[in-house]
Structure 1
Amino acid sequence: MKIKNLILYSLIGFMLFPLQGCTKSTPVQDVASSSAEQLYDEGEKYYEGKDVPQDHVKAFKLFEQAAIQGSAIAQNNVGAMYFKGLGIERNLDQAFIWTKKASDQHFAEAQYNLGVMYNEGFSVAKDRTKALELFTQSAKQSFPKAQYNLANAYATGDGIDQDEEKAFELYTQAADQNNPEAQYNLGHWYANGIVVAKNKKKAFELYSQAAETGLAEAQYNLAQAYDQGDGIAKNEVKAFEFFSKAADQGLVEAQFNLAVAYSKGVGTLKNEKKALEFYTKAAEKNYPPAQFNLGYMYAHILNDKTQAKYWLQKAADNGIQQANVALDELK
């Protein structure tokens, strides 16, 4: 069956509350007399388990003391830990309070995180306009996740006037800072000539960068490029490698294409058992081409008419016309 090309556009990815590490570390002897910087550095040691046993409870207490003294980075981390329930019982109201304190000090990560909370309605009424305002403030400070989310908003016109040129600019800024989702979407724009001249080689480079971080969609598109010789020399072995990586992360299109590769022996040795395994995984996720191919395997290779009819009917119900023909042949 012909390999199906994935539509390459991801939804906004909300990556919450990264802890921001410092390089200096001065041991805290007396919490009451220690500076916010000392408290933060000591908290980071316990959070990461650097030279001490990892202890999120102790890390939270130290971050909290630094936050009370007004450290924006500590306030952001206290908000993060309340949000995640790390070292303290989860409390979204406290997460909002502390994140806002850091955001009010123009801390870029906190502006982004507060934007996420407004966008998703965490401890506050959903407010897309306020979320975009905060993403914009964070993006102006070059925070890549904010640049990426803002780019998606401009690309789709979600809560803001659509502006593909502005989206392209922001995707580029985030991609240049190694944001994999931005690299992936920017690759799609180069591949399809959106705003910029079509450039399959540049698209391949961007997909490669995103795939190196483990982004399944990028791994899949990289596999497609190798499979079709699109922007790179055709290489069925490399295509199989990246289909495998994306399939292992549960991407249904990759699972289907991996099954095709196993069933035909493309880029790997023919293996009907593996083909059956991956067709089944994709079919169980209601992917119609996999349901059809699985039904075909049961009918013509495994000689199981009951399973064949079951999966072919699923495929037919999902609009695969060939499945109706195959069902008639089984009568």
Structure 2
Amino acid sequence: KTAARLGNHPMAMNALGIHYEQGWGVKTSQGLALLWYRKAARAGSTMAMANLGKIHARGDGVLQDYRAAVAELKKAAGDWVTVRVPASRLGITRDSPFRFSAASIVSAKNNPEIDWGYSRRAEWDGVTLRKFVFDTQFDSVKPADITVVDIRSDGDDLLLDIAVFGGAKREGVIHFIWFFDTDGRESGVEEFRLKDAPPLEPVRMPHADRALQIVLRPGPAAPLPVFLLSEGKPKQLADGRFFKGDNVAAQYDLGIVFARGKRNPRDVGGSIKQNLRLATDWFFRAAEKRPNNPDYANGHAGAQNNIGVLYSKGNMYRREDRRSDSKQFEPKPYRQAALWFRRAAAQDYWEAYSNLGFLYEQGMLLVDANGRKVPSLYREALGLYMRAADPGGLVRLKGEKGVAKLGQNVPGLTVAQYNLGSLFDPDERIAEGLSASAERELRQNKNRTRAEFWYSQAAAKGHAKAQVALAKRMLGRAKLGAVDRVAALKWLFLASDKSEGEAYKLLDEQESQSVKITKAARVAADLFLPNPEAEEEAVGAHQKLERLAALAVRGDMEAAHELARMFHLGTAPAMQDYTRAFRLYNLAAAEGHPAAQFHLGMLYSTGNGIPYRAKRGIGGFSNLKRAYNVEAAGWYEKAANNGYGEAAFYLGNLYAAGSNDLRQDYKLALNWYKKADALGNIDALNNLGYLHDEGLGTRRDRAKAREFYTRAAEAGHAGAQMNLSAYYFEGLGGVRKDLAMALDWAKKADDQGEPGAAEKVTAITKIMQRKNSFHE
């Protein structure tokens, strides 16, 4: 903490963010985690930038927003330049719309390379501003093609970031230009006098009345000259900074986001569309060997595996054609897929073993790494599946019957265990087009007992298709007792929570047969604990989960809530699973547990983890992810009425913001903030101050607003301290203008790292110095 605050040390600040996020040695605080991640990112920590991206993707402590996540991840994954500029220098004023865009110029003797970015409209309300523009047409082999342009407010300043893909060698000077159009005139400034740069093409000049030029020279990173451009001579402003990202984990995460596509909750809006070309670019970047990076000396194994997946599914373009529309697919995609799977497997990446095994089982791959035909597709597939499904050799040591008799978990890759079940399952079809001998060998090795063994291993780890396959086998038995029927329905309930279609059909057939068995199966599913994949998790670490589940079975709802929190946050050894968290919160909330009611409301408000059957929509249910603020408000209200102050605060926020399914109502917001205040929530005090400050839900009363800000500020709320500083600075709310008091409160906010506080301290100090100098 000392290094972070006194030394402005990026790694220390990022580490402090991790400690607050995980609750290591301090009380868990997502707000403080975000604060330190942001400070570290501003100081150049690519790890902090990547952590910010992950927080936005998860929606922990902030609205879930994949677009914001991608903006942060692109900076961490590539390179970025950043500059802080007073909004007034750019002609940007409160509540006045403007447009912004950006471009980069790579200096060359005869033909400078210019990359023009898209334009976007923005409006700053004087409180918060965050807008970004993505360029999906960037060229990954060029040194300065822009991937994202990011603008956000911090106090009276604007923070401007431009990220590029990175990786390409920088030899010449690169100029980054920001354009700002604040008056909307079509003519604007037709020509800018750049500083030591090739002229911009007038035909492509965006309409703008001001621009910023940032000059990046080759060599070690140093402060970057920043020039304000208008009709006159360029004026130099404060320096900008250049940061080299190349965060491999962020590159991999971007590949995942673009490979799958991500939709934001409806109240946030927007989405990241699936784009396999962009996914390919980022996977290739992450897969590169990095001899100087001990963690990724041979490249990111997951990225290498995913490149293989893209090849095997026929989604891979020729690399040199990925920026064109020719769509010439790679020849022999399965051979290329196998090559990348083998690279990942060489790093003992389990998924790669399983994927290679699948290629052999399906007859997509017939040769080994040296190009020689393999004698047996079945043995190749079996061997590769086993390497992933049983890496510790438990089954090799005791045999499947021995492990089954003892009811042991086999640590290993879940999907490989499912693939083994499918390999042995007599009801699973064999791939078409195989040679007669290969088909005969696969058919001869079908075995119901072995299939059920491996399905049970995968099902116990949470694999939905394995759970359905196992339930079908159990329900197909001639004699099925109550215990086994409960177990079978438990697997179907779990699979249905993962939206496995066949599970719904089977449940519809089975649920009506016995209400008692159905209820028991639902509770068993809610308290289900997936077995761990990794062997190290199996020794001791799983016992805490088992202890909590055992207490919850006996009606201990505090244990059920604690278990839910572990799945919600992904606290080791629990893997993050929002649906498991939802079920456990729901179990405890139904019994009146206030914290569970609050956290259940949080999941509804973000749309995370809500099982298909719990969603409202046209025709009864909808499987689209969205915020369910009506349900969220209901659970927040129950928790608040049970004395949970944070729930009252969140309920106030819901009514203050309003949404498509919950009408904005400042009076209700005011009432719930008052309830939260009565329950000791200081965040509500600051918001009460704001409502009285603006006259929302009540008459405008700045004296009362000051009282609320003062109470919150004295309780340590950094935002309220900034608001109170503003009141003393302007002489509002019945107090006389007092720069000393304004400075004191701004310093208190700065001590907590409040964004904009440091700049406020500097500004007030300069004013006081000028006044003192004048009096002297």
Return the alpha-carbon distance in structure 2 between the equivalents of residues 295 and 171 of structure 1.
41
Q: What aligned pairs does 1:38-77 form with structure 2 within 5 A after superposition?
A: none
Change (3 A) 1:124 1:94: same
Opposite residue 763 of structure 2, the aligned amino acid is: Y
How many angstroms does 1:212 deviate by? 1.9
1:260 counterpart residue number? 726
Change (3 A) 1:241 1:158: same
| Higher relative contact order, chain-length normalized (CA < 8 Å, sep 6+) | 1
For residue 197 of structure 1, the aligned residue among 639, 663, 670 is 663
Deviation readout 1:183-216 (Å, 9 max, x if unpaired): 1121122223222322211110001110122212
Unaligned runs of 5+ in 1: 7-90, 306-331
8 A Cα contact 2:581 2:609, kept in partner: no
Q: What aligned pairs does 1:112-123 form with structure 2 within 5 A after superposition?
A: 112-122=561-571
Opposite residue 654 of structure 2, the aligned amino acid is: W
1:171 counterpart residue number? 636
Is 2:726 aligned against 1:277?
no
Change (3 A) 1:287 1:304: farther
For residue 217 of structure 1, the aligned residue among 663, 683, 692 is 683
Change (3 A) 1:95 1:271: farther
Give 3-state SS (helix, strand or coil) of 1:301's partner: helix
Return the alpha-carbon distance in structure 1 between the equivalents of residues 128 and 711 of structure 2.
17
Deviation readout 1:1-53 (Å, 9 max, x if unpaired): 998489xxxxxxxxxxxxxxxxxxxxxxxxxxxxxxxxxxxxxxxxxxxxxxx
Return the alpha-carbon distance in structure 2 between the equivalents of residues 111 and 232 of structure 1.
41
Is 2:553 aligned against 1:104?
yes
Unaligned runs of 5+ in 2: 1-93, 95-124, 130-539, 611-624
1:18 counterpart residue number? none
Is 2:542 aligned against 1:125?
no
For residue 609 of structure 2, the aligned residue among 152, 159, 163 is 159
How many angstroms does 1:115 deviate by? 1.3
Return the alpha-carbon distance in structure 2 between the equivalents of residues 266 and 227 of structure 1.
10
Return the alpha-carbon distance in structure 2 between the equivalents of residues 123 and 290 of structure 1.
36
Return the alpha-carbon distance in structure 1 between the equivalents of residues 565 and 753 of structure 2.
31
How many angstroms does 1:105 deviate by? 1.3
1:229 counterpart residue number? 695
Is 2:757 aligned against 1:290?
yes
Opposite residue 137 of structure 1, the aligned amino acid is: L
Is 2:756 aligned against 1:301?
no
For residue 136 of structure 1, the aligned residue among 564, 567, 586 is 586
8 A Cα contact 1:118 1:124, kept in partner: no
How many angstroms does 1:297 deviate by? 1.6
Change (3 A) 1:133 1:99: same
8 A Cα contact 1:150 1:170, kept in partner: yes
2:205 counterpart residue number? none
Structure with the bigger percentage of helix: 1
8 A Cα contact 2:692 2:698, kept in partner: yes
Return the alpha-carbon distance in structure 2 between the equivalents of residues 172 and 147 of structure 1.
9
- TM-score, normalised via structure 2 length: 0.26
Change (3 A) 1:213 1:165: closer
Opposite residue 558 of structure 2, the aligned amino acid is: E
- TM-score, normalised via structure 1 length: 0.58
Deviation readout 1:219-275 (Å, 9 max, x if unpaired): 110011121221122222221121122223433221111111122332334432221
CA RMSD of aligned residues (A): 3.1
Return the alpha-carbon distance in structure 1 between the equivalents of residues 741 and 718 of structure 2.
15
Return the alpha-carbon distance in structure 2 between the equivalents of residues 205 and 189 of structure 1.
12
- Identity of paired residues, percent? 29
1:150 counterpart residue number? 600
Return the alpha-carbon distance in structure 1 between the equivalents of residues 543 and 708 of structure 2.
42
